[in-house]
């Protein structure tokens, strides 16, 4: 109401970003207004560049700037293990653990009869094609630990096991550093079922 039209447009656009409420949008908008012209335009340019340069990796469907993503193109990654995830944004948290050295396959979603998402809507055929030459020895299913993710993992496990490829699933259990008192019963139940012998 009191803001210049172009400021209001910026506030609206910022407010559509995930996790950005009206107050954050205003704080960012005023930061951009106050910033050097070049500094503010660097952000605009980064958005344009990313939309121009980034597409899907032709092998794993992660975001990539060349034909292959950085991970598929890396000679140091172990191409005999494929970690299957729902979306590209699931890859950075796994990479940050520095525990996984294999490659990825991005399904582009999870099976959901409720939302009408079936096997043909995911990149499952593309995963099977990657297994065809027998060089892959393990498929690690890292879909989310919820109903859709578990359904998707079970479905893919059923397809892959007959090929003689080892199929694994991320463990469920108590978060490290978490508090037993505040664990939900499903997670705690899973932790009990999956208890380790010491």
**Residues of this chain that bind its own copies (CB under 8 A):** 1-7, 9-10, 12-14, 16-20, 24, 26-34, 37, 40-51, 53-54, 63-66, 69-71, 87-89, 91-92, 95
Is 142 in contact with 94 (CB distance < 8 Å)?
yes
Q: How far apart are CA 130 and CA 167, in angstroms?
A: 14
Instruction: Select 14 or 139, whichever has its Cβ closest to its own copies.
Output: 14
> Least Å distance between CB 100 and its own copies?
11
Instruction: Select 67 or 125, whichever has its Cβ closest to its own copies.
Output: 67
Instruction: Select 42 or 166, whichever has its Cβ closest to its own copies.
Output: 42
Q: How far apart are CA 130 and CA 185, in angstroms?
A: 38
- Helices and strands per DSSP (H, E), number in the chain: 8, 6
Q: How far apart are CA 1 and CA 25, in angstroms?
A: 16
Instruction: Select 33 or 163, whichever has its Cβ closest to its own copies.
Output: 33
> Least Å distance between CB 3 and its own copies?
7
Is 159 in contact with 105 (CB distance < 8 Å)?
no
> Least Å distance between CB 167 and its own copies?
24
Instruction: Select 56 or 165, whichever has its Cβ closest to its own copies.
Output: 56
Q: How remote is the C-alpha of 173 from its chain's centroid?
A: 20
Is 56 in contact with 63 (CB distance < 8 Å)?
yes
> Least Å distance between CB 198 and its own copies?
34
> Least Å distance between CB 110 and its own copies?
15
* Residue closest to 131 by CA, chosen among 186, 84, 194: 84
């Amino acid at each position: 109401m009191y803001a210049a039209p172009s400021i209001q447009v910026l506030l609206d656009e910022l407010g559509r970003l995930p996790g950005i409420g009206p107050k954050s949008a205003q704080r960012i908008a005023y930061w951009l207004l106050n910033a050097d012209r070049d500094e503010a335009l660097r952000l605009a340019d980064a958005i344009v560049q990313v939309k121009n340069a980034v597409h899907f990796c032709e092998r794993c469907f992660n975001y990539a700037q060349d034909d292959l993503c950085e991970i598929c193109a890396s000679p140091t990654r172990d191409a005999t293990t494929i970690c299957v995830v729902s979306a590209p944004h699931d890859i950075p948290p796994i990479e940050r653990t520095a525990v996984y050295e294999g490659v990825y396959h991005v399904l582009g979603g999870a099976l959901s009869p409720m939302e009408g998402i079936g096997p043909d809507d995911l990149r499952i055929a593309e995963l099977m094609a990657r297994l065809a030459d027998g060089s892959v020895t393990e498929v690690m299913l890292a879909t989310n630990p919820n109903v859709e993710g578990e359904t998707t993992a079970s479905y893919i496990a059923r397809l892959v096991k007959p090929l003689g490829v080892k199929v694994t699933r991320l463990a469920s259990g108590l978060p490290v550093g978490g508090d037993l008192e505040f664990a939900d019963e499903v997670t705690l139940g899973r932790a009990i079922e999956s208890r380790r012998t010491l």
